[in-house]
Amino acid sequence: MNEAPAFEQDLARWRRAAWQRIEAAAPAAAFEERGRVHAAADGIARVTGLGGVKLDELLLFPEGRVGYAASLEADHIECVLLDAPHAVCAGQTVRRSGRVVDLPVGPALLGRVVDPLGRPLDGGPPPQTTERLPAERAAPPIIDRALVHEPVHTGTLAIDALFPLGRGQRELIIGDRGTGKTSIAVDALLAQKDSELVCVYVAVGQKTEAAAAVIEAVRRGGAPARTIFVVASGTDAPGLQWLAPFAGFSMAEYFRDRGGHALVVVDDLSQHAATHRELALLMHQPPGREAYPGDVFHVHARLLERAAKLAPERGGGSLTALPVARTEAGNLSAYIPTNLISITDGQIVLDTKQFHLGQMPPVDTGLSVSRVGGKTQAPLLRDAVSSLRLDYAQFLELEVFTRFGTELDAGVNAQIARGRRIRAALAQPRLAPRPEELQVALVLALQAGMFDAIEVGAVPARVDLLQRALGAAPELAARLRERAPVDGAARAALEAELRRLLAG
């Protein structure tokens, strides 16, 4: 008898709650523009029916696959796919996203291996980030930039001594295949183990094994907790490979814009240019020099111009770029090398002949240059290097005459002997960046002639001895790292201390 009234009361409460939800709801019309895939092949989808789409807008395909509008034609859209090309076929529905290609940024990406869209490749969960940035961003205007005055320690003596880099600089690493370009870039990443720089390594079209080797090297000897690995391997979609450098720069700009300092390695832009040419030809864009489309220069220019040292009013952060490029038979006058050389602030050229002779790293001191980094060197190192650079350049010229068996006087023989010892001291193994204090000590010792009486073959052993001795003398190491000017008496005292260490 009492069950019916209880049921009616519950039903009445449910009706009141339902009416309250209906009255609180604010219905609004939702408009969604959809199109269809007319044709799809080789990483390009031809889409029709999206009249309001914008250039570089992200388009959504079934099963979570995406692409972006790369070319807007009168009756269709050329869409570059960012997922497996075979998964998109004619007849599928395409939806607009209303936003350009963007990606997650922030500290949650540090230590992770991700693809250019921020999706994890290391087996971990998706990075929990709260901010996203477009892959394509405008470079900082000139008014917001400052002069490059802070150094970037690369750990390679031939670079830090002869062609120093500064924070905010763009330095190209260029050479033939297999001459150690990636090794120099990885050494620069390893050298940041004790610095505050956030590192971003971007692999463009590399083999999976090569990218994995770099990641393992950084995890073993670098600062993986401050490094982001952006990988678009050769098996990934061409669109993903094209997007990778832009994504890496956006991830680094997050830290730069907050007053931090970042270092981006792009390995390599030659492959990126080839991918850009592939996509352009597939979209029927006219080819130009060496079959590259005419906008390839603008593509790389707007990418590398994003590297900069910001003014104090903008936070004082910096983004340093180390792009890698490949030459064929040492031809620096090819289209892509000349483009990149004109865009960057200098280049580290690797010589194939030196590589085959066993000189590692095979830096060509005649063709390499750093246009803005010289002002970042410590005064002690700058003073010592000035004469060392001249001695080494004269040695390289004089060494040519020894190949013909020409009789030389004692002075020339002494110059050649010193040059060979300088070359032996500049050589260093892969993945073994030298600390700053050891570099300064070596340059001082070479300039003072402390290696002149040592056999060339014994130079590496003396370098190892000096490194161990500096490790046991922290006060001396700290004095060698100082960036304040050093007078003659202080320098003489440092040289005397180095003589004692080398003799012991």
Q: Distance between CA 368 and CA 160 in Å, rounded?
A: 12
Q: Is the pLDDT of residue 230 over 90?
A: yes
Judge whether 41 and 89 are in contact, CB under 8 Å: no
Beta-bridged to residue 100, according to DSSP, are 57
Structure tokens at 244: 């990778």
19 or 335: whose pLDDT is higher?
Answer: 335
Q: Which residue has the higher pLDDT, 136 or 2?
A: 136
Report residue 30's pLDDT band, with 50, 70 and 90 as the boundaries.
Answer: low
pLDDT of residue 462: 92
Most confident region among 237-246, 352-361, 466-475 by mean pLDDT: 237-246
Task: Establish whether 371 is a catalytic residue.
Answer: yes
Q: Is-contact 324 178, C-beta < 8 A?
A: no
Residue 207 has pLDDT above 50, yes or no: yes
Look at residue 368 in the predicted model and tell me its pLDDT. 94
Question: What is residue 378's predicted lDDT score, i.e. its pLDDT?
Answer: 87
Instruction: Round to whole Å and give the CA distance between 437 and 471.
Output: 10
pLDDT of residue 406: 66
The mean per-residue pLDDT over the stretch 190-195 comes to: 94
pTM (two decimals): 0.91
Q: What phi and psi values does residue 250 have, to the nearest 5 degrees?
A: -65, -40
Give 231-257 as a 3 state SS string. Answer: EECCCCCHHHHHHHHHHHHHHHHHHHC
134, 244, 395, 417 from 424: Cα distances, Å: 47, 38, 13, 11
pLDDT for residue 185 is more than 80? yes
Please tell me which residue, 351 or 29, carries the higher pLDDT value: 351
Which one of the listed residues 302, 371, 382, 430 is annotated catalytic?
371
Q: Round the average pLDDT of the chain to a whole number and report it.
A: 91
What are the pLDDT digits (tens) for 302-324? Answer: 999 999 999 999 999 999 999 99
DSSP state of 14: H
Mean pLDDT, range 418-435, rounded to an integer? 92
User: What pLDDT, on a 0 to 100 scale, did the predictor assign at position 32?
Assistant: 78
pLDDT of residue 159: 95
How far is Cα 216 from Cα 186, in angstroms, rounded to an integer? Answer: 11
What is the distance between the alpha carbons of residues 477 and 363, in angstroms, rounded to a whole number?
27
The residues, ordered by sequence, that sit 6+ positions from 390 with a Cβ below 8 Å of its Cβ are: none
Q: Which residue has the higher pLDDT, 311 or 357?
A: 311
What band does 383 get if pLDDT is binned at 50, 70 and 90? confident
Q: What is the pLDDT of residue 19?
A: 80
- Encoded amino acid at 47, one letter: V
**pLDDT score at 1:** 46
Q: Phi and psi for 26 in degrees, rounded to 5?
A: -120, 85
What residues are paired with 173 via a beta bridge?
324, 348
DSSP state of 363: B
- What secondary structure letter does DSSP report for 136? S
Residues 6+ apart with CB under 8 A from 137: 249, 250, 253, 306
CB neighbours of 183 closer than 8 A, spacing ≥ 6? 361, 430, 431
Q: Express each pLDDT in 94-119 by its tens digit.
A: 999 989 999 999 999 999 999 999 99
pLDDT on residue 29: 63
At position 431, the amino acid (one-letter code) is L
